[in-house]
C-alpha cells in the first residue's frame, strides 16, 4: 500500500527540516549567535535576507530557527531512545513473568508516574548545578542531563505497552516451543519476545517523539531546559513572547518558532497514527 497524500507531505516536511537543520552550519546563513544590533527587528522579506526577519538583537530568525530545530529534534530523538531502551525491557519482563514480578514492577511504575514532572527536572538541574565542575570533567553538561531526564520521564507509557504485548506473546505457541526446546527465560525474552515487540516499539517511538519535543519546548520556554546561548524552539518562543509590544509589530518573533513547532508535532503525530493503523490492520 502506497503512502497517502498527508503522509507524503508529513514525511517531506520532516525530511526537509531534518536535512536543513543538519546542514545549517554549512549553509550561507548569518550566525544564529552573533548580535548585530543595527539589524534589530527587521521584517521578514520572504525571498531574500532576512527571510524570516530578525529579533530584537539583530539575529537572523531563520538561522536561529534551524539551530533550534537541531536541538529540539536531537532532544526528541535521544529522549525517545532513552525511553525506549528503559521501557521496552522493563515492560517485557513484567509481562513475561506476570504474578508478583508484574505487580511489583507496575506498582513501581505507578509510583514513579505520580512524581510531579517539574520536581524531577528541578532536582536534576539542582544536582547538575551542585556538581557542575565534576560532571563537566567527564563531558556531562546541562544538555546531556536534560536528554537523560526527558527520557527517564517518558519511558513509563512505553513500558505499559510492552507489558501488554508481552503478556499476550507469552501465551503464544512459539514461546511454548522455545520452553519445550529448553531455552532459558532470558533467551526467550531477548531472542523471541523483543523481535515481536519491535513493531509496537516503533509505533511508541513515533508517538513519544512529539511528546518529548513538546516537553523540551515547554521546559525551555520556562527557562528549565536548554540553556542560552543554546537555541531551541522553546527559547525562541520565550524570547518572542517577551518581545511582544503593542507599539512594535514583531509578530514573527513568536509566530515563526510556534509555527515550526506546531508543524513538526502535527507531522509526527500524523505519521505515528498512520503507522499504528497500518500495523494494526
Q: How many CA atoms lie within 13 A of 116 on its CB side?
A: 4
b/e map of 204-237 (b: 16 or more CB within 10 Å)? bbbbbbbbbbbbbbebbbeebbbeeebbbbbbbb
Predicted local confidence at residue 259, as pLDDT: 92
**Domain residue spans of the chain:** 9-20+51-280
- The pLDDT value given to residue 280: 63
DSSP letter at 42 equals P
Q: E-strand spans in the chain?
A: none
- Whether domain 9-20+51-280 has CATH 3.20.20.80: no
Residuewise pLDDT in 10s, the chain (281 residues):
556 777 788 888 888 999 998 988 888 888 888 888 888 888 888 777 778 888 888 888 898 999 989 888 888 888 888 888 888 888 888 888 888 888 998 888 888 888 776 677 777 777 776 777 776 777 776 667 767 777 777 788 888 888 888 888 888 887 778 778 777 778 888 887 888 888 877 887 888 888 888 888 888 887 777 777 778 888 888 888 887 776 667 888 888 899 999 999 998 888 887 777 776 66
CA 119 to chain CA mean position, Å: 19
Place of cell 520536581: 119
Inter-residue contact 68 to 232 (CB < 8 Å): yes
Query: Residue 51: helix, strand or coil by DSSP?
Result: coil
Q: Which residue has the cell 536528554?
A: 147
Amino acid at each position: 500500500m502506497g503512502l497517502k497524500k498527508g503522509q507524503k507531505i508529513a514525511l517531506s516536511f520532516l525530511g526537509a527540516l531534518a536535512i536543513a537543520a543538519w546542514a545549517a552550519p554549512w549553509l550561507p546563513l548569518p550566525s544564529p549567535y552573533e548580535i548585530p544590533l543595527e539589524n534589530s527587528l527587521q521584517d521578514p522579506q520572504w525571498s531574500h535576507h532576512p527571510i524570516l526577519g530578525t529579533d530584537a538583537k539583530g539575529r537572523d530568525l531563520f538561522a536561529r530557527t534551524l539551530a533550534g530545530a537541531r536541538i529540539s529534534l536531537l532532544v526528541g530523538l535521544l529522549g525517545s531512545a532513552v525511553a525506549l531502551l528503559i521501557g521496552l525491557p522493563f515492560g517485557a519482563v513484567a509481562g513475561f513473568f506476570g504474578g508478583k514480578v508484574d505487580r511489583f514492577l507496575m506498582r513501581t511504575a505507578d509510583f514513579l508516574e505520580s512524581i510531579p514532572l517539574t520536581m524531577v527536572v528541578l532536582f536534576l538541574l539542582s544536582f547538575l548545578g551542585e556538581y557542575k565542575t565534576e560532571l563537566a570533567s567527564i563531558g556531562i553538561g546541562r544538555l546531556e542531563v536534560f536528554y537523560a531526564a526527558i527520557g527517564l520521564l517518558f519511558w513509563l507509557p512505553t513500558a505499559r505497552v510492552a507489558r501488554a504485548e508481552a503478556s499476550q506473546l507469552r501465551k503464544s505457541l512459539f514461546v511454548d516451543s522455545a520452553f519445550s526446546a529448553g531455552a532459558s527465560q532470558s533467551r526467550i525474552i531477548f531472542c523471541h519476545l523483543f523481535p515481536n515487540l519491535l513493531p509496537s516499539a516503533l509505533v511508541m517511538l513515533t508517538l513519544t517523539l512529539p511528546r518529548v519535543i513538546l516537553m523540551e519546548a515547554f521546559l525551555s520556554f520556562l527557562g528549565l531546559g536548554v540553556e542560552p546561548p543554546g537555541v531551541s524552539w522553546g527559547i525562541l518562543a520565550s524570547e518572542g513572547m517577551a518581545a511582544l509590544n503593542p507599539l512594535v509589530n514583531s509578530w514573527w518573533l513568536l509566530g515563526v518558532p510556534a509555527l515550526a513547532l506546531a508543524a513538526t508535532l502535527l507531522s509526527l503525530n500524523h505519521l505515528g497514527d498512520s503507522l499504528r493503523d497500518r500495523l494494526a490492520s
